[in-house]
Amino acid sequence: MSSRRLEQHTRLVAGEHSDVALTVPAFQEAIRYHARYSLGKRWGSCSGHELFTAVAFAVRHALIDRMLDTEDRYQQADPKRVHYLSMEYLLGRSLKNNLSNLGILDLCRDALHEMGVDLEEVLEGECEAALGNGGLGRLAACFLDSLATMSMPGYGYGINYEYGLFKQDIDNGYQKEKPDNWLTHGSPWQIERPDEACIVPLYGRIEHGIDRTGQYNPMWMDWKIIIGVPHDMPIVGFGGQTVNVLRLYSARSSEEFDMQIFNEGDYLKAVEQQIASETISKVLYPSDLVEAGRELRLIQEYLLVACTLRDIVRRYEKSHATFDQFASKVAIHLNDTHPALTVAELMRILVDEHAQPWEKAWATTQATLSYTNHTLMPEALEKWSASLFEYVLPRHLQIIYEINHRFLAQVASVWPGEHERLRRMSLIEEGEQKAVRMVNLALVGSHSTNGVSALHTQMVKTSLALDFYQLWPDKFNTKTNGVTPRRWLLQANPLLADLITNTIGNGWITDLGKLRALEPYAQDPDFQQAFMKVKRSSKALLTRIIHDRCRVAVSPDALFDVHVKRIHEYKRQLLNVMQIIHEYQCITQDGKAPPVPRVYIFAGKAAPGYWAAKQLIKLITSVGGVINTDPRVQGLIKVVFIPDYRVSMAEQIVPAADVSEHISMAGTEASGTGSMKFAMNGALTIGTHDGANIEIMEEVGRENVFLFGLQVEEIRQMRERGSYHPRTYYHCNPDIRRLMDTFVSGLFCPDEPGRFRWIYEAVLDRGDPYFHLADLESYIETQERVAQAFKDPAVWACKAILNIARIGKFSSDRAIAEYAREIWNIKPIL
């Protein structure tokens, strides 16, 4: 947004909220106050993190005033509210986001400049909230932004992980994980609420009793207690009118320690219970490779669910005497399968604690809950052993068995005698070790199940949940994901945002569809030139980052080909590397130079226990090490892996990309919001017919994306027929044979012969489950088309501008509007 429009926006906010520090001197006074009285430091002696903290506390005043005003508005209206449960929230840094959405970013910059400090230095002092792993958590963060911007009454609920996603170092090409204790110095954005702590029962036993009417009355006895302490993070919408809350729970021991043990001199044993309890919220996704890790993950999920429902019920009961209106006042949304325990916990609260008849409680539960499925990957479709479930949550297992009994009776009445269907739909997986199917629990216990792209929803209906779709066809729907333009264009790419605003106005910030007004400028030479100038500035910035982080010199005039996302075999970073090796061999062995120079940019983290993914990082860095030092390809291709990919790094990479890679095997990526962020910033998509790639193509035009490869139905047929034979491609195509042989030749691992033989064997001898070779020829041809298009700057600029102009569908505002209207039944409270 231009400085003039920002000033106008600041005055608008001031007219509505007199507490905003509208003058530079007043803002400076607030900053100095917090440096002295909140931190005990003189302004001139503050460290980088202390500079950030002092500024953040000054900004927090405005946030808290608006947060309280927002809650007052909600209390007065008594609207239906949505409560969004997610195990992840990948927020990134909050200071710039809060300044921008409050309309005081330029004011803060000017105030700090007069104090001898650069705002960018202050922004760098903020630790990123390590509360998520990837797309799931970033989507949740975008949704919170949209809810607040659209003044929708909603809360986010999650866990206040002390150690979230690890910090990634690259040592000799290998990923090394370091702890990311983002709360070492606390967070100025968090407001602890110990007075609203929740009691969470665990373990114990069931006592089978009879009530006064002679009915079975099970009693959950002899609990072990932990405490969930909420920490609120204000989430401000653009314009500053609405500030919603993300409530995060930390686990605490129910008592400091056993004084008798302490008095006997065994201090370590005395605090053992406290340490064990607080471990629950220490780490995002503890390893489930051992029983203790699985138990901890189950407890984490229950901590989130139990605390959230206790909080929801507490709020509801403040203004409602009975639960008759619960489903009309409360919407609870499960962001993926992790919070599926909500089904059993809500039933337990209604039946056990509030004496609701089962049928009435079940009707309320189904009407209240909705569920988003985010993946078809088997490892993400949670199952818990019944024995572990019974040990940790004995009453919940009882409830799940009862839900299952009644549900299967319903299925049997629709399809009598179909025992195989009953087996598939059961909440309990029978076998040597019984397991609770959490996906089935979420499907049965909610009134709505949605996929996150049109293709994904179709696959949920026809593959993952065909039986459930046949039983309840009206329950299934599509809500294609979206991203917030405030974070991913206005903040991440201010030069482009200013260019757009100066051309068509600033209405696009809250209505991304208004970017359509850019279409007439796509072929305007002056606008094309201005756009390409902005793009080159972003590439020049990333060039410096690459040199600082990777010690590789690259040219901002080369084509920047970006592949950044979680490292996973299904995302097929390996396919990209195969194409790079092919291009390298064409140059060095065939004398065939590429049409344009290209820089291949990778980033992403592999799960610590995921050996193959970590080996892919080693492969990328090894291939880069050879190519980047080979004089025969200098100035033609470079390969870099930028370590420690995170939100703030994405904000620097996304604006600089010319093309972005989204090349998962068709049918494996549910949506993929990365492609939306890149297209919003004028990068063309190279992708398969998967996830949101298809819908992006439909919006921006087939000629403005580069899709390739097999489609879902073709892969399904090849699998069913057993007609995919990787060795056939190897023997019939000399280029494929030549590049595959490098994995056993030692070309990219001269010091470790055999290091990459596993890739050769996995692809050629173990079935290649992700169809790399089936898509490789099409991928290579597509990359050649990309290079030819990039040769003509006017043609390329036109395609890039049209991507921006037609990306409006992929705003998280549109997604939230659909959820609000079609699933949650909530409305803005202004």
Which sequence positions are flagged as catalytic? 374, 565-566, 571, 673, 677
CB-based contact 43:54 (threshold 8 Å): yes
> Which residue, 708, 655, 673, 470, is CA-closest to 566?
673
CB-based contact 445:471 (threshold 8 Å): no
Sign of the alpha-carbon torsion through 542, 483, 665, 371: positive
Ranges of beta strands (E only) in 35-143 are: 81-85
CB-based contact 546:552 (threshold 8 Å): yes
- Distance between CA 795 and CA 313 in Å, rounded? 58
For residue 742, give the 3-state DSSP assignment.
Answer: helix
> Which residue, 398, 419, 469, is CA-closest to 440?
469
Q: How many CB atoms lie within 10 A of CB 716?
A: 16
Residues 6+ apart with CB under 8 A from 467: 421, 424, 425
CB-based contact 151:829 (threshold 8 Å): yes
- Distance between CA 809 and CA 818 in Å, rounded? 11
The angle formed by the CA atoms of residues 161, 85 and 472, to the nearest 5 degrees, is: 145
Displacement of CA 379 from its chain's centroid (Å): 17
- Distance between CA 442 and CA 736 in Å, rounded? 44
Residues 6+ apart with CB under 8 A from 151: 237, 241, 242, 828, 829, 830
Q: How many CB atoms lie within 10 A of CB 119?
A: 20
3-state secondary structure 207-233: EEEECCCCCEEEEEECCEEEEEEEEEE
Q: What share of the chain is helix, strand, coil (3-state, %, to 5)?
A: 55, 15, 30
Strands 216-221 and 191-192: unpaired
Q: Is 4 left (phi over 0), alpha (psi -120 to 50) or beta?
A: alpha
CB-based contact 682:535 (threshold 8 Å): yes
- Distance between CA 221 and CA 209 in Å, rounded? 12
Q: How many residues does the chain have?
A: 830
For residue 821, give the 3-state DSSP assignment.
Answer: helix
Residues 6+ apart with CB under 8 A from 338: 86, 87, 301, 304, 382
- Distance between CA 367 and CA 475 in Å, rounded? 11
For residue 73, give the 3-state DSSP assignment.
Answer: helix
Helices 525-550 and 793-805, packing angle to 10 deg: 90
Helix H or strand E segment including 154: strand 154-159
CB-based contact 437:426 (threshold 8 Å): yes
- Distance between CA 331 and CA 308 in Å, rounded? 12
Residues 6+ apart with CB under 8 A from 251: 200, 226, 227, 228, 229, 277, 278, 279, 280, 281, 303
Class of residue 76 by CB neighbours under 10 A (exposed 0-12, middle 13-18, buried 19+):
exposed
